[in-house]
Chain A
Amino acid sequence: GENVEQHPSTLSVQEGDSAVIKCTYSDSASNYFPWYKQELGKRPQLIIDIRSNVGEKKDQRIAVTLNKTAKHFSLHITETQPEDSAVYFCAASMGNFNKFYFGSGTKLNVKP
Protein backbone atom coordinates (compact mmCIF):
# COMPACT_ATOMS: atom_id res chain seq x y z
CA GLY A 1 0.00 0.00 0.00
CA GLU A 2 0.83 3.66 0.16
CA ASN A 3 3.57 4.87 2.49
CA VAL A 4 3.50 8.46 3.68
CA GLU A 5 6.46 9.93 5.54
CA GLN A 6 6.30 13.23 7.39
CA HIS A 7 8.98 15.53 8.80
CA PRO A 8 9.77 16.97 11.23
CA SER A 9 8.11 15.15 14.10
CA THR A 10 8.26 18.27 16.26
CA LEU A 11 8.58 21.90 15.28
CA SER A 12 8.93 24.85 17.56
CA VAL A 13 8.65 28.39 16.18
CA GLN A 14 8.29 31.88 17.55
CA GLU A 15 4.96 33.59 17.11
CA GLY A 16 4.91 35.40 13.78
CA ASP A 17 7.44 33.12 12.15
CA SER A 18 6.64 30.66 9.38
CA ALA A 19 6.37 26.89 9.77
CA VAL A 20 6.91 24.29 7.07
CA ILE A 21 6.01 20.62 7.30
CA LYS A 22 7.00 18.19 4.57
CA CYS A 23 5.58 14.86 3.43
CA THR A 24 6.53 12.30 0.83
CA TYR A 25 4.41 9.53 -0.60
CA SER A 26 5.29 6.35 -2.44
CA ASP A 27 2.43 5.53 -4.78
CA SER A 28 2.17 7.67 -7.89
CA ALA A 29 -1.53 6.72 -8.11
CA SER A 30 -2.31 8.93 -5.11
CA ASN A 31 -4.10 12.03 -6.30
CA TYR A 32 -5.54 13.78 -3.27
CA PHE A 33 -3.51 15.20 -0.41
CA PRO A 34 -5.28 16.70 2.61
CA TRP A 35 -3.77 18.20 5.74
CA TYR A 36 -5.39 17.79 9.12
CA LYS A 37 -4.96 19.62 12.41
CA GLN A 38 -5.61 17.64 15.57
CA GLU A 39 -5.78 19.00 19.08
CA LEU A 40 -5.27 16.66 21.99
CA GLY A 41 -8.08 14.11 22.33
CA LYS A 42 -10.09 15.61 19.51
CA ARG A 43 -10.94 14.65 15.98
CA PRO A 44 -8.69 15.68 13.08
CA GLN A 45 -9.94 18.77 11.31
CA LEU A 46 -9.30 19.32 7.62
CA ILE A 47 -7.43 22.58 7.13
CA ILE A 48 -6.44 22.47 3.47
CA ASP A 49 -6.20 19.97 0.65
CA ILE A 50 -4.74 19.73 -2.83
CA ARG A 51 -5.40 17.56 -5.82
CA SER A 52 -2.74 16.15 -8.10
CA ASN A 53 -3.65 18.44 -10.98
CA VAL A 54 -2.70 21.52 -8.95
CA GLY A 55 0.76 22.58 -7.84
CA GLU A 56 -0.13 25.04 -5.12
CA LYS A 57 -3.12 26.15 -3.10
CA LYS A 58 -3.45 28.96 -0.60
CA ASP A 59 -6.00 29.82 2.05
CA GLN A 60 -5.12 32.92 4.05
CA ARG A 61 -2.09 32.01 6.19
CA ILE A 62 -1.99 28.41 5.04
CA ALA A 63 -0.62 27.09 1.77
CA VAL A 64 0.15 23.68 0.37
CA THR A 65 2.53 22.83 -2.47
CA LEU A 66 2.72 19.59 -4.41
CA ASN A 67 5.52 18.19 -6.53
CA LYS A 68 4.12 15.16 -8.33
CA THR A 69 7.40 14.23 -9.94
CA ALA A 70 9.23 14.09 -6.65
CA LYS A 71 6.17 12.76 -4.83
CA HIS A 72 6.28 15.27 -2.06
CA PHE A 73 3.99 17.94 -0.69
CA SER A 74 4.40 20.56 1.98
CA LEU A 75 2.31 22.64 4.35
CA HIS A 76 3.29 26.26 4.89
CA ILE A 77 1.88 28.33 7.73
CA THR A 78 2.83 32.01 7.77
CA GLU A 79 2.53 34.50 10.63
CA THR A 80 2.05 31.68 13.11
CA GLN A 81 -0.07 32.24 16.19
CA PRO A 82 -0.20 30.33 19.50
CA GLU A 83 -3.56 28.85 18.49
CA ASP A 84 -1.79 27.15 15.58
CA SER A 85 -0.13 24.87 18.15
CA ALA A 86 -1.39 21.33 17.51
CA VAL A 87 -0.43 18.13 15.75
CA TYR A 88 -0.60 18.28 11.99
CA PHE A 89 -1.03 15.23 9.78
CA CYS A 90 -0.62 14.92 6.06
CA ALA A 91 -2.40 12.20 4.15
CA ALA A 92 -2.54 10.68 0.70
CA SER A 93 -5.48 9.09 -1.03
CA MET A 94 -6.05 7.43 -4.36
CA GLY A 95 -9.54 8.86 -4.65
CA ASN A 96 -12.69 6.86 -5.23
CA PHE A 97 -12.86 4.89 -2.01
CA ASN A 98 -11.18 7.55 0.07
CA LYS A 99 -8.72 5.16 1.66
CA PHE A 100 -6.40 7.62 3.38
CA TYR A 101 -2.89 6.92 4.56
CA PHE A 102 -1.55 9.32 7.13
CA GLY A 103 1.88 10.64 7.87
CA SER A 104 3.31 10.23 11.36
CA GLY A 105 2.36 13.73 12.44
CA THR A 106 4.17 16.92 13.38
CA LYS A 107 3.71 18.53 16.73
CA LEU A 108 3.85 22.28 16.15
CA ASN A 109 4.52 24.54 19.10
CA VAL A 110 4.16 28.26 18.55
CA LYS A 111 5.80 30.20 21.36
CA PRO A 112 4.27 33.55 22.25
Chain B
Amino acid sequence: GAVVSQHPSRVICKSGTSVKIECRSLDFQATTMFWYRQFPKQSLMLMATSNEGSKATYEQGVEKDKFLINHASLTLSTLTVTSAHPEDSSFYICSADRGGEKLFFGSGTQLSVL
Protein backbone atom coordinates (compact mmCIF):
# COMPACT_ATOMS: atom_id res chain seq x y z
CA GLY B 1 0.00 0.00 0.00
CA ALA B 2 0.94 3.66 -0.27
CA VAL B 3 3.02 5.11 2.55
CA VAL B 4 2.52 8.58 3.95
CA SER B 5 5.01 9.81 6.50
CA GLN B 6 4.30 12.66 8.91
CA HIS B 7 6.73 14.44 11.21
CA PRO B 8 7.01 15.19 13.99
CA SER B 9 4.75 12.73 15.74
CA ARG B 10 4.58 14.87 18.83
CA VAL B 11 5.54 18.48 19.53
CA ILE B 12 5.29 20.67 22.58
CA CYS B 13 5.78 24.39 22.14
CA LYS B 14 5.33 27.63 23.97
CA SER B 15 2.45 29.94 23.24
CA GLY B 16 3.31 32.42 20.49
CA THR B 17 5.77 30.22 18.65
CA SER B 18 5.28 28.62 15.24
CA VAL B 19 5.33 24.93 14.52
CA LYS B 20 5.88 23.21 11.18
CA ILE B 21 4.50 19.77 10.39
CA GLU B 22 5.65 17.80 7.36
CA CYS B 23 3.68 15.30 5.32
CA ARG B 24 5.50 13.17 2.76
CA SER B 25 4.27 10.59 0.31
CA LEU B 26 7.12 8.09 0.28
CA ASP B 27 6.35 5.82 -2.63
CA PHE B 28 4.04 7.83 -4.83
CA GLN B 29 3.48 11.34 -6.07
CA ALA B 30 0.58 13.27 -4.61
CA THR B 31 -0.68 16.33 -6.40
CA THR B 32 -3.25 16.73 -3.67
CA MET B 33 -2.85 16.38 0.07
CA PHE B 34 -5.33 17.12 2.82
CA TRP B 35 -4.90 18.40 6.33
CA TYR B 36 -7.25 17.33 9.10
CA ARG B 37 -7.56 18.29 12.71
CA GLN B 38 -8.90 15.98 15.39
CA PHE B 39 -9.81 16.97 18.94
CA PRO B 40 -9.92 14.26 21.61
CA LYS B 41 -12.79 11.85 21.09
CA GLN B 42 -13.98 13.79 18.08
CA SER B 43 -14.02 13.32 14.36
CA LEU B 44 -11.52 14.40 11.74
CA MET B 45 -12.30 17.90 10.55
CA LEU B 46 -10.98 18.85 7.12
CA MET B 47 -8.93 22.02 7.40
CA ALA B 48 -7.60 22.52 3.91
CA THR B 49 -6.74 20.96 0.60
CA SER B 50 -3.13 21.33 -0.42
CA ASN B 51 -2.41 21.43 -4.15
CA GLU B 52 1.07 21.10 -5.55
CA GLY B 53 2.23 24.31 -7.14
CA SER B 54 -0.79 26.37 -6.20
CA LYS B 55 -2.47 27.92 -3.20
CA ALA B 56 -4.21 25.74 -0.69
CA THR B 57 -7.98 25.75 -0.43
CA TYR B 58 -9.22 26.28 3.11
CA GLU B 59 -12.47 25.08 4.63
CA GLN B 60 -14.87 27.61 6.03
CA GLY B 61 -13.81 28.86 9.43
CA VAL B 62 -10.15 27.92 9.06
CA GLU B 63 -7.79 30.89 9.22
CA LYS B 64 -5.40 30.69 6.30
CA ASP B 65 -2.99 33.18 7.87
CA LYS B 66 -2.75 31.05 10.97
CA PHE B 67 -2.43 27.68 9.28
CA LEU B 68 0.03 28.16 6.46
CA ILE B 69 0.19 25.36 3.94
CA ASN B 70 2.90 24.85 1.39
CA HIS B 71 2.93 22.07 -1.21
CA ALA B 72 6.17 22.75 -3.01
CA SER B 73 6.72 19.30 -4.47
CA LEU B 74 4.74 16.24 -5.46
CA THR B 75 5.83 14.43 -2.33
CA LEU B 76 5.80 17.07 0.38
CA SER B 77 3.22 19.30 1.99
CA THR B 78 3.84 21.33 5.12
CA LEU B 79 1.46 22.84 7.64
CA THR B 80 2.77 25.68 9.78
CA VAL B 81 0.76 26.69 12.82
CA THR B 82 1.77 30.31 13.35
CA SER B 83 1.71 32.05 16.71
CA ALA B 84 0.32 28.94 18.32
CA HIS B 85 -2.00 29.22 21.31
CA PRO B 86 -3.26 26.57 23.74
CA GLU B 87 -6.54 26.28 21.81
CA ASP B 88 -4.50 25.10 18.80
CA SER B 89 -3.51 22.02 20.75
CA SER B 90 -4.86 19.09 18.77
CA PHE B 91 -4.02 16.03 16.72
CA TYR B 92 -3.16 17.09 13.17
CA ILE B 93 -3.18 14.47 10.46
CA CYS B 94 -2.45 14.66 6.77
CA SER B 95 -3.60 12.46 3.95
CA ALA B 96 -2.52 12.08 0.36
CA ASP B 97 -4.32 11.31 -2.86
CA ARG B 98 -2.48 8.75 -4.98
CA GLY B 99 -4.80 9.36 -7.89
CA GLY B 100 -7.52 6.86 -7.08
CA GLU B 101 -10.36 7.10 -4.64
CA LYS B 102 -8.55 5.79 -1.60
CA LEU B 103 -7.03 8.17 0.88
CA PHE B 104 -3.79 7.36 2.69
CA PHE B 105 -3.18 8.93 6.06
CA GLY B 106 -0.03 10.06 7.76
CA SER B 107 0.64 8.93 11.32
CA GLY B 108 -0.49 12.22 12.82
CA THR B 109 1.10 14.93 14.94
CA GLN B 110 0.02 15.63 18.49
CA LEU B 111 0.55 19.34 19.11
CA SER B 112 0.53 20.65 22.66
CA VAL B 113 0.83 24.39 23.17
CA LEU B 114 1.74 25.48 26.67
Contacts and interface: CB of A to CB of B under 8 A. Distances in A.
A49 B103 CA distance: 11
A49 B101 contact: yes
**Majority-rule SS of B interface residues:** strand
Contacts of B97: 97-98
B43 interface: yes
Interface string A33-45: 0100000011111
A34 B105 CA distance: 13
B42 A34 contact: no
A32 B101 contact: yes
Interface stretch (A13-21, A69-77, A99-107): A99-107
Interface residues of B, number: 23
B105 A100 contact: no
A43 B44 contact: no
Interface in B37-51: 41-46, 49
B107 A97 contact: no
Interface residues of A, number: 25
Contact of A100 (B46, B60, B107, B110): B46
B43 A98 contact: no
A44 B101 contact: no
A1 B97 CA distance: 20
Interface of B: 32, 34, 41-46, 49, 59-60, 91, 93, 95, 97, 101-103, 105-108, 110
Interface of A: 1, 6, 32, 34, 41-46, 49, 51, 89, 93, 95, 97-105, 107
